[in-house]
Structure 1
Amino acid sequence: MSEQAFQLIAIAVYLAAMLAIGYFAYKRTNNIDDYMLAGRGLKPGVAALSAGASDMSGWLLMGLPGAIYLNGLIEAWIAIGLTVGAWLNWKFVAPRLRSYTEVAQNAITIPSFFEKRLKDNSHFLRIAASLIILAFFTFYVSSGMVAAGKFFESSFGWNYFTGMFIVVGITLLYTLFGGFLGATLTDVAQGLLMFAALIAVPIVAVIQMGNMGDFTTKLTEINPDALNLFSSFNGTNGLLAAVAIFSTAAWGLGYFGQPHIIVRFMALRTPSEAKTARRIGIGWMALTAIGAITTALVGIVYFAGNPAKEIKDEETVFLLLSQIFFHPFVAGLVLAAVLAAIMSTMSSQLIVCSSALVEDLYNIAGKKLTPKREVALGRSGVLVVAVVASLLALNRDSSILDLVGFAWAGFGAAFGPIVLLSLYWRKLTSTGALAGMITGAVVVFVWGNITPLHDAMYEIVPGFLLNLLVAVVVSRMTYKHNETIEAEFSAMEKEVSENAPYVAETV
């Protein structure tokens, strides 16, 4: 049997397992709450692994190794910023959001939480948040589709579009029918597979190439700055270098506003379980990030020493190394981890898009549907977003990291400050939240598409700060005391303090 046949069998086994999990979830999905939030019944480990897997996507196994392979450890500031941001998100956002979304009339989506938390009867805030979700997630889902096409093209020599549509089709199947529970359970399996692959590939590769001392010597001979986190200071203005590092690490700001991640907080069984979930999630994230970075550094040494083995696309360095150092069937399982990263993120994002279409746009029009009709409409929303994202992904030259970066900045800048203010500031108003949210989204769209500005500073920074400023200023101008808001805010604080005393005091 050929190497490619072994690999395809392994991938087929993985894909079949994902469909089986989707069917399992389908049998347990009866209404829109089940479809969108799994009945708020996630255990800490499930929530942590599903959040991590849906967060990382193809960026972790393709985008990050590709950036490190090209530029060295200076690109690791993205991973550092993300790990810090994720820790802060689990500690300061998770317990309060889990409590407040239930206290605020059982909100099951981020847009509905904003509306119910701020008592916005106009629905403008909810509609604006939903439209932002649909706009930026279309780019985000498209990045996964591009990664899928590149995966099959690089690994098996298939046509880019064939590979893309196979992955899209299978992801759609288990997402359409399994809903949030299907996406979450597949995320857990995919997160464990990603973890195993990112630990195994660099360890086996380094052993095959010699001991760690030999490896680091060769690496620094090839690129003296490969292991230098501060290489941007070499020969440049110190202030500009510091700005560049801050801009890269600022990816961590995005965590507070990512709907597909923080929805896992809302689905926890209790606010107090956020602490356990945080430890599991951050441990998983730190180890997988180290594995991805090490894989890229191994690739620098290996391909420099083997000029006959050409690497055409730096974002495929993880795929190529797994094929070189493992038995074909094992390599197939490692390759399946890349699909796991891609599919876990796509499924989670499609569910959030579906909720925005059904729960936050259709239902506020006052339409009354049966539970089965609501779920059917949710599935239709998944399909619509997938079709639009597929059209964007037809451009195979799109950079995975660029697509992810733009969408990540959009959510971080539009939603991040509003989430934090909603949870920690009683005087936030619906007008202030709407003004800040629109400001953040517009700044990202404009800044991110003007090359000199984008090159000087990642667009999430100005978008986040201006959103925060506008939201606070407008809220102070429009604030009116509301007894219901005060009572719900106090109820949230009381529940969180009773169950999780480690959470910081309100500001």
Structure 2
Amino acid sequence: MSTNEIYQLIAIFIYMAGMLVIGWYAYRRVSNLHDYMLGGRSLGPAVTALSAGAADMSGWLLMGLPGAIYVYGLGEVWLAIGLTIGAYLNWLFVAPRLRTYTQVSNDSITIPSYLDNRLKDNSKIIRIVSGIIILVFFTFYVSSGMVAGGVFFENSFGLSYHTGLLIVSAVVIAYTLFGGFLAVSYTDFVQGLIMFLALILVPTFAIYLTGGVSETVNSIQAVDPKLLSLFAGTTTAGIISSVAWGLGYFGQPHIIVRFMAIKSVKETKQARRIGIGWMFLSLLGAILIALIGVAYFQQNPSSSLADPEAVFIVMGQVVFHPFIAGIVLAAVLAAVMSTISSQLIVTSSALVEDLYKAVVKQNASEARYVLLGRVSILIVAMAALFFAWTKNETILDLVAFAWAGFGASFGPAILLSLYWRKITTTGTLSGMVVGAITVIIWGNSKFLSGLLYEIVPGFALSLIVTVIVSLVTYKQNVEIETEFNETLELLEREK
């Protein structure tokens, strides 16, 4: 192993040790299921904002986006634009109401339990179906993150895929299992900071290697002037599909659960500013890294880039001392691990809060529920590890599919439940089923998926069906009306 790799491994070791220390700190603050699954609704605005961002972005921000722009140019930025708009609207319209309504409606601590309590569904069918959807999709989602972690160590340090897989899995499982939601949120906050600093510092220093802004632009144009065009190589349908990714935010349980955990509604405004600022600057950094990378390799033809998705990592190694380059590598690992841990805790909560409690209906002590939560994380993690053991690209492909599935299934239900009194259990269930089926059929059709990203028809049909069926099945419920009015009153007071 080279000296550079040793420096980088030291940086990775320090990062992972830090995550475990945070997990231990959070472990000491957990006393009941509410603490374990939602952190006792105690998160500050900065932790809420950065943990939501880190849980959202994953390795796409540091590898996928820069790689796509490096190859195809700024036409790939439409996806980032769509995500930024979607995240902003999510913070603006969902965060304050979801924080308030989940507390008013029987102090709900998960998305399925919120829908169940909001709709007064005595059959528990919404809670059970939602819990199963989360359990199934997120198990594979977690698996895809583990695959990415194994590939990271394989490509960066020459370790075997399975060794890397076990290292990443062991650390994430440890701090998530013991510290619960608080550990996930605090580690995601730190990971979000690492990602942010890396994405800002790499292009800031790399621009000097390519001779400043004008020389960098000239070098990019020498490769292909179209790389600097927002519209070259794009189509109207392609732009709509990219921007439509933003619709997915309204239905992502591992992201919107952060809104439920913030201390107060007042703090959602500050959290929104921090979160969108972090997101905008991080995306800008990723874009600049790709463009500067194009200029750097044009100016240094003796150097080559085997994998475009590694442009961020390679530029970090070119610019910085090996130890600092190791921190850049830690940023990639942070992006992967933050998403895994967030999905693990949501999946665990679905298993305990939404399936065990709803089906078994057993009154147990808080200590027993916390223990069940930890056991659930271990079970889900082992299942995900099993699926990830054989490196399978189809698991990674599931990410875009699952994003659309959650967005189309849960998105309209969440929005309507917060803003419309007349949404019903039957309408919600019908919309969720139609949204999921539409995404499955559209996404698996080569012709249809080539026309438009499946979240567009899935979200639209889910919304329409939910409204129509709810209007047909609506019956006034005094308890629902009271909670809806109480939510509005509390929101008005918090302004």
Normalised TM-score (structure 2)? 0.97
> Cα distance 1:8–1:400, how it changes in 2: closer, same or farther (>3 A)?
farther
* Pair 1:302 & 2:303 matched: no
Shift of 1:403: 3.3
* Pair 1:341 & 2:335 matched: yes
SS of 2:225's equivalent?
coil
SS of 1:105's equivalent?
coil
Shift of 1:303: 3.2
Q: CA RMSD in A?
A: 1.5
Amino acid at match of 1:384: I
Matches within 5 A, 1:120-159: 120-159=121-160
Name the structure 2 match of 1:460: 455
Worse-superposed segment, 434-443 or 169-178? 434-443
- Asked whether the 8 Å contact 1:111–1:360 carries over to 2, the reply is yes
Amino acid at match of 1:149: G
Name the structure 2 match of 1:291: 285
* Alignment partners' CA distance in 1, 2:156 and 2:447: 36
Shift of 1:401: 7.0
- Asked whether the 8 Å contact 1:144–1:400 carries over to 2, the reply is no
Query: Once the two structures are superposed, what CA deviation does each residue of 1:317-361 show, in whole Å capped at 9, x if it has no partner?
Result: 211221222100000111111111111111111000000000000
SS of 1:270's equivalent?
coil
SS of 1:231's equivalent?
coil
Matches within 5 A, 1:416-455: 416-455=411-450
- Asked whether the 8 Å contact 1:59–1:404 carries over to 2, the reply is no
* Alignment partners' CA distance in 2, 1:304 and 1:451: 36
Amino acid at match of 1:53: A
Name the structure 2 match of 1:404: 399
- Asked whether the 8 Å contact 1:107–1:116 carries over to 2, the reply is yes
SS of 1:426's equivalent?
coil
SS of 1:312's equivalent?
coil
Amino acid at match of 2:438: V
Choose which of 371, 376, 393 in structure 2 pairs with 1:376: 371
> Cα distance 1:333–1:36, how it changes in 2: closer, same or farther (>3 A)?
same
* Alignment partners' CA distance in 2, 1:457 and 1:484: 41
- Asked whether the 8 Å contact 2:210–2:295 carries over to 1, the reply is no
- Asked whether the 8 Å contact 2:196–2:278 carries over to 1, the reply is yes
Shift of 1:150: 2.3
> Cα distance 1:303–1:395, how it changes in 2: closer, same or farther (>3 A)?
farther
* Pair 1:331 & 2:325 matched: yes
Choose which of 384, 405, 408 in structure 2 pairs with 1:413: 408
> Cα distance 1:394–1:320, how it changes in 2: closer, same or farther (>3 A)?
farther
- Asked whether the 8 Å contact 1:151–1:316 carries over to 2, the reply is no
Name the structure 2 match of 1:17: 18
* Alignment partners' CA distance in 2, 1:430 and 1:159: 49
Query: Once the two structures are superposed, what CA deviation does each residue of 1:201-257 show, in whole Å capped at 9, x if it has no partner?
Result: 112111112111111111122122111111135xxxxxxx11110111111001111
Amino acid at match of 1:478: T
Say how many residue pairs are matched. 493
- Asked whether the 8 Å contact 1:154–1:316 carries over to 2, the reply is no
- Asked whether the 8 Å contact 1:59–1:401 carries over to 2, the reply is no
- Asked whether the 8 Å contact 1:43–1:269 carries over to 2, the reply is yes
* Alignment partners' CA distance in 1, 2:238 and 2:312: 26
Amino acid at match of 2:290: A
Shift of 1:400: 8.5
Name the structure 1 match of 2:385: 390
- Asked whether the 8 Å contact 1:155–1:320 carries over to 2, the reply is no
Name the structure 1 match of 2:102: 101
Name the structure 1 match of 2:220: 219
* Pair 1:2 & 2:3 matched: yes
Matches within 5 A, 1:32-431: 32-232=33-233, 241-364=235-358, 365-396=360-391, 398=393, 402-431=397-426
- Asked whether the 8 Å contact 1:65–1:295 carries over to 2, the reply is yes
Worse-superposed segment, 363-372 or 100-109? 363-372
> Cα distance 1:217–1:392, how it changes in 2: closer, same or farther (>3 A)?
farther
SS of 1:61's equivalent?
coil
Shift of 1:481: 0.4
* Alignment partners' CA distance in 2, 1:489 and 1:289: 37
> Cα distance 1:91–1:479, how it changes in 2: closer, same or farther (>3 A)?
same
Worse-superposed segment, 467-476 or 396-405? 396-405
* Alignment partners' CA distance in 2, 1:283 and 1:401: 28
Name the structure 2 match of 1:237: none
* Alignment partners' CA distance in 1, 2:264 and 2:226: 46
State percent identity of aligned pairs. Answer: 57
> Cα distance 1:397–1:71, how it changes in 2: closer, same or farther (>3 A)?
farther
- Asked whether the 8 Å contact 2:209–2:296 carries over to 1, the reply is no
Shift of 1:386: 1.8
Worse-superposed segment, 292-301 or 387-396? 387-396
Amino acid at match of 2:313: L
Amino acid at match of 1:407: A
Query: Once the two structures are superposed, what CA deviation does each residue of 1:11-36 show, in whole Å capped at 9, x if it has no partner?
Result: 10010000000000001111110000
Unmatched runs of 5 consecutive residues or more in structure 1: 234-240, 501-507
Worse-superposed segment, 252-261 or 320-329? 320-329
Normalised TM-score (structure 1)? 0.94
Worse-superposed segment, 197-206 or 18-27? 197-206
Amino acid at match of 1:453: L
Amino acid at match of 1:287: L
* Alignment partners' CA distance in 2, 1:338 and 1:31: 33
* Alignment partners' CA distance in 2, 1:436 and 1:320: 45
* Alignment partners' CA distance in 1, 2:118 and 2:214: 56
> Cα distance 1:138–1:447, how it changes in 2: closer, same or farther (>3 A)?
farther
* Alignment partners' CA distance in 2, 1:395 and 1:65: 27
Unmatched runs of 5 consecutive residues or more in structure 2: none
Query: Once the two structures are superposed, what CA deviation does each residue of 1:41-81 show, in whole Å capped at 9, x if it has no partner?
Result: 11111111111111111111112112212211111111111
SS of 1:120's equivalent?
coil
* Alignment partners' CA distance in 2, 1:392 and 1:406: 17
Name the structure 2 match of 1:478: 473
> Cα distance 1:44–1:29, how it changes in 2: closer, same or farther (>3 A)?
same
